[in-house]
Amino acid sequence: MHIPVSGRMTQDPDGTWRSALADPLENERFEPLSSSVALELAAVSVSGALKAYNSDHYLAVRLGRTEETLISSLAEADVPAHFAEYGYAMAVADGRGDRGAGARASRLALSTLAHLLIRYAKWNFRVDPSAVDEIVERSEFLYRRTHDALREARLSNPLLAHMAASVTAMYIVGSDLFYVHVGHGKGFLFREGHLVQLTTGHTSEQAKALEAERIGGPSDPRIDIEHIEVLPGDRLLLSTNGLTDAVSQDVIAGVLALRRRPADDCQRLVELARAAHASDDVTVLVADYNLQR
């Protein structure tokens, strides 16, 4: 006897069960702010007019957390799309020391920090009050370990007896920026036409003491850390004192206000420092902070 197809379907005792299992899962897509940061950056470093060696170095790294499905028996709609969130760390270092020892100092400082990040850092990509304290504590730890590494190198070789470095760094995750500073480098936030220098609350006596402090120096350095919120459209600037000794903050603000690409602004700031006969090495790192959706 011929039974219509529709009749067979209605008589399937598992039909409702199968239909329920086949319904697509409703999973809300998770998009933290750390997955949306779009950071465009550039850097330039040149020797000062009176310097035989460029004793500055710079470094920028991206730290990531990802999830990517490799194989699965699940339907494509049942597994999350490729997920990634990132934090960004960037730093400039100004080395001090004779006959190339300064260049070695800044190189060793940044290289040590980069390797310590892999070994010891807990990469916090979502910042709550407890994470703020942890990031500050971890930043101090990384700086002090770097200080120890430079001191060991300095004490092990008489040619490096006066080696030390100023190190200025930023860590960006989501909308949180941590600014970490030892020595006379500078960090700035440019927002809506205003240039703000980070970590500025020092008396003249404190400023002189900070000028003498460096990573790897004879005394334990004071590590200044500042935590602020960054907004889309903000511009960030890290520089060694070769720039700020030769070019005023008003002029720097005027360059950043033109909103050119970071590479163009870096080059322009270096040109201005050279035109002002900057005696020290000049290193400039500019980063534009935005969000991509």
Residue 29 in any domain: the answer is no
Residue 10 in any domain: the answer is no
- Identify the residue whose tokens are 């709609």: 77
- Identify the residue whose tokens are 């960004």: 88
- Name residue 271's amino acid: E
Domain extent, residue 69, equals: 38-291
Measured between alpha carbons, how far is 64 from 286 in angstroms, rounded to an integer? 21
Residue 161 in any domain: the answer is yes
Measured between alpha carbons, how far is 164 from 106 in angstroms, rounded to an integer? 8
In this prediction, residue 8 carries a pLDDT of: 45
In this prediction, residue 15 carries a pLDDT of: 57
Residue 61 in any domain: the answer is yes
Verdict on whether the full-model pTM lies above 0.95: no
Phi, psi of 110 (to 5 degrees): -70, -40
Measured between alpha carbons, how far is 194 from 212 in angstroms, rounded to an integer? 29
Tally of domains in the chain? 1
Residue 84 in any domain: the answer is yes
- Name residue 63's amino acid: L
In this prediction, residue 293 carries a pLDDT of: 67
Output Rg (C-alpha) for the chain, integer angstroms: 26
| CATH number of residue 85's parent domain | 3.60.40.10
In this prediction, residue 245 carries a pLDDT of: 93
State which residues of the chain have pLDDT below 70.
1-27, 200-212, 293
Residues 164 and 214: beta-carbon distance below 8 Å: yes
Residue 87 in any domain: the answer is yes
Residue 168 in any domain: the answer is yes
Residue 232 in any domain: the answer is yes
User: What distance, in Å, lies between the first and last C-alpha atoms of the chain?
Assistant: 60
